[in-house]
Structure 1
């Protein structure tokens, strides 16, 4: 995996985690929406071709998971990538809900 720098840009309705790799102009993003107090919907993960094969999508998801652990929110896995990774990692169950108020 390449050195990926990730930052969070948050707003009142949602935000994004932004991944950058030195020497590459493009950015990878994981876009989310604030669904309700303590619930965030992971809506889309977008990694451009210039960053493909470098573990960027997984790095973005890892950052989201760590943020959820540290900040105490739970995640609705709307994004196909996030859903597929969640299905492979039952140990993440405490960080996810399938819909507000419902456990996966």
Structure 2
């Protein structure tokens, strides 16, 4: 159930969960300073798989990747924001 993938072309991290998907969406933008910023804008976990830590795994993977890229971190998603503060 826990095969986390990064779909770069679609700006999302995905975990396949019983034929459904838990997803973290993000967008990238260039700042005036020239730095690229990432905004984690939504997480979704199918109801049957909630409470199992899937959203946290997605967000942690997203933040780790973004830091490796040198991106400035932002989150308009309330859930992802908890991990950036």
TM-score by length of 2: 0.82
**Post-superposition shift, 1:35?**
1.7
* Structure 2 gap ranges (5+): none
1:64 match: secondary structure: helix
> Please, which of 68, 82, 85 is the counterpart of residue 84 of structure 1?
82
Q: Gaps spanning 5+ residues in structure 1: where?
A: 88-104
Question: Do residues 34 (structure 1) and 28 (structure 2) align?
Answer: yes
Structure scoring higher RCO (CA < 8 A, sep ≥ 6) equals: 2
Higher relative strand content: 2
Q: Deviations over 1:29-72 (max 9, x none)?
A: 00011122521111001111121111000000110111012221
Q: Which residue of structure 2 aligns with residue 7 of structure 1? A: 5
